[in-house]
Structure 1
Amino acid sequence: MTKKIIHVDLDCYYAAVEARDDPTLRGIPLAIGGSQYGRGVLSTCNYEAREFGVKSAMPTARALKLCPNLTVIPGNMEKYKLVSKQIQAIFSRYTDVIEPLSLDEAYLDVSDSNLFKGSATLIAEDIRKAIESELQLTASAGVAPIKFVAKVASDINKPNGICVITPEQIESFVEELDLGKIPGVGKVTKEKLNKLGLFTGKDVKAYDQRLLLKQFGKFGQSLWEKCHGVDKRNIETSRVRKSVGVEKTFNSDIHTEAECHNAIAHLYPSLLSRLERASSDKKIIKQGVKLKFNDFKQTTVEHKKRTLDKLFFNELLEEALKRQNGRGIRLIGLSVGLDTEKSNKEQISFKW
């Protein structure tokens, strides 16, 4: 049976919630993020701000240079979580098969729904109407028979729009799709693909599959399948957490090994706390250290480790510092990889 998948994505969620609750923030360039005087970055911004080139994850200081009239306010995560629960409640009226990706987006499988005579398009439209009328927020939706196409489609008619890709349209849609639009294809990977003359799904379909697998491994296989309109993934109503991490961005760069060791000592208790919440038995398979330098390039060193060892982070740090090349360090992160080969009762459910 052909599946009916809906991907719903709220439009500039944090900023939209703030503008909804404060009329003075409506119709002006608005962003949620940290201060320009530290190492603040934007978590999101509205479409008025995007017209100036402002975007998510951009340093606040740079955003203000692009848009001097930008209003930047700190986020209120507790409020966003509360509204997210209200959004989840709306989703639950239409199906029990829901895979949340974040506070403001989710996949819904409505293949077995009898609502609107089984029309996924009408269900998606009704979800959008409910969100707007009850929460005064807008959402965009993509409807397709497979997950990744539904996600791509939800972005096509943003903001406050819907895009439907029928089973008959899948092949042509994917063939014309820019590879950078496919989830998982980041900037670096896209550049590598482009150097091989691969720009669209059609290009990948015409490429030698063996070469693609040799050059990109497991990802190459996934890309090959997607470009042939294949995505076998089901909607996951619970998600297995594969890692837990903490990180700190410094107000000013640090440079020495001693400063890095001190940062690790301060981060370690936070990592333990998060690990405790995420996994009761703390079974891990690896530890890692991430450094981000003052040129915004970053490096990560990870090694297998079956028991959590604070001193092992220091060893990983020493290896990572060999790549410093005199650069200042703006961020340090610690992470542990979790053993996902567990029984269902030990899996960590995504919490809204």
Structure 2
Amino acid sequence: MDVWANYRKILHVDMDAFYASVEQRDDPSLMGKPVVVGGRPNSRGVVSAASYEARKYGIRSAMPVAEAARRCPSAVFLPVNGQKYREVSWQIRQIFLTYTPMVEPLSLDEAFLDVTGSTSLFGPADLIALTIKQRIQQELNLTASVGLACNKFLAKLASDLKKPDGFVVVHPNRIQEFLDPLTVERIWGVGEKTAKQLHNHNVKTVRDLRSLELKFLTKLFGSLGSQLYQLAQGIDDRPVESDRVVKSIGRETTFETDIADPDVLETTLLKLAVHVGRSLRKEALRGKTVTLKVRYADFRTLTRSRTLLRATDLDDVIYQEACSLLRELSLKQPLRLIGVTLSNLTDQIQNQLSLFEEPQLEKENLTKVLDSVKEKYGEKSITRARLL
């Protein structure tokens, strides 16, 4: 009898050291070397990805690049090439969609897939998982780790256990055997503070956590306690959501040295607005609320927002509003970071113009032409003079 017969078949696919692996693939001289993606060693950025060679030195994502350089001075430090990673991510997603429309991306490098309804066409779930891994390897020359389980929580745990290039199956009749030896830090929602509280009650493993009563956990952690109780037993009923709603699209940048020059700040805003506008158009979205984010050298962060009369996806409109918000701030200190976000999104094209508003059709047509040129010849094929 098939033990999976009455259960969902959920995959979690997680690319291995994604950004760094793409860079190593595209430059074979980097193979076998510690590679850190995030910026130059003397920059103030953070690590976006580290190759497995770099991880041997304790380098991890979100670590300051300067700290990574201190730990491994011989590492190769590269800037983040977001456009390239997005293109590869799109190629990976096309492979996923070959086997199921139920794909829930979590980021560029990981996604949940529900293949419950796909087994009649493509065979058992473990065969589908292995086929996806093989296609990613053969077609894109990259490796992925995959977890297969009856829910999202277990599948994500499984994909992380044997990285890189791992494949772990959690059988429905062996869930506790899989979970019990794991440390409580593996449970979603257990951060440093929660783990410390659990350790104080001599709870170190999932088996220890499972021995606690629901009433005790809810008294200790409130609603989180109920979640911990469920997850310790491998219970997670959340569906794979194939049409996740995008709530906002934004870009930000951290300067290598603090910037006070208004011209430099506005040029940076133009660059960010162009990226945001392009992302909106790729998703067929428009937004009404422009938000400016700034961070001072002392890490004090401010945001200012303005809601437009009409939803837009035009770079110039986003840029002009962001500049207006920046000028209203009357900055008295240099900035460490600046960012632009568009929210209040809609996929409905709004054609009604204000009586006093210049028609947008000409600008929209020009934008479409520029997008098509970049799509065909690359992002750097055409750009604004101010960004040269």
Q: Please report the TM-score for the alignment, with normalisation by the length of structure 2.
A: 0.68
Question: What displacement does 1:221 show?
Answer: 2.1
Q: Mapping of 1:1-352 within 5 angstroms?
A: 1-114=6-119, 118-242=123-247, 249-251=254-256, 277=280, 280=286, 282=288
Unaligned runs of 5+ in 1: 318-327, 347-352
Question: What displacement does 1:25 show?
Answer: 0.8
Determine the C-alpha separation between the residues in 2 that align with 1:55 and 1:281: 34
2:118 partner amino acid = S
Q: Quick one: structure 1 residues 345 and 121, their matched pair in 2 at CA, closer, same or farther if it must change by over 3 Å?
A: farther
Determine the C-alpha separation between the residues in 2 that align with 1:225 and 1:15: 36
| SS state at 1:176 partner | coil
Question: What displacement does 1:56 show?
Answer: 1.3
Q: Quick one: structure 1 residues 161 and 289, their matched pair in 2 at CA, closer, same or farther if it must change by over 3 Å?
A: same
Question: What displacement does 1:222 show?
Answer: 1.9
1:66-110 per-position Cα deviation (integer Å, ceiling 9, x unaligned): 112100111221111111111111111111111111111111111
Q: Please report the TM-score for the alignment, with normalisation by the length of structure 1.
A: 0.74
Q: Quick one: structure 1 residues 240 and 185, their matched pair in 2 at CA, closer, same or farther if it must change by over 3 Å?
A: farther
1:142-179 per-position Cα deviation (integer Å, ceiling 9, x unaligned): 01111111011001111111011100111222222222
Determine the C-alpha separation between the residues in 1 that align with 2:348 and 2:175: 37
Determine the C-alpha separation between the residues in 1 that align with 2:294 and 2:196: 23
Contact in 1 for aligned 2:252/2:272 (Cα 8 Å)? no
Which structure carries more relative contact order (alpha carbon 8 Å, separation 6+)?
Answer: 1
Unaligned runs of 5+ in 2: 1-5, 309-321, 350-388
Contact in 2 for aligned 1:94/1:115 (Cα 8 Å)? no
Contact in 1 for aligned 2:122/2:128 (Cα 8 Å)? no
1:97-155 per-position Cα deviation (integer Å, ceiling 9, x unaligned): 11111111111111112368741111111111111111111111001111111011001
CA RMSD of aligned residues (A): 4.0
Determine the C-alpha separation between the residues in 2 that align with 1:179 and 1:299: 34
Q: Quick one: structure 1 residues 153 and 84, their matched pair in 2 at CA, closer, same or farther if it must change by over 3 Å?
A: same
How many residues matched?
A: 320
1:91 partner amino acid = F
1:217-258 per-position Cα deviation (integer Å, ceiling 9, x unaligned): 33322222111211010000011245666655454579xxx9
Determine the C-alpha separation between the residues in 1 that align with 2:258 and 2:87: 36
2:155 partner amino acid = A
Larger radius of gyration: 2
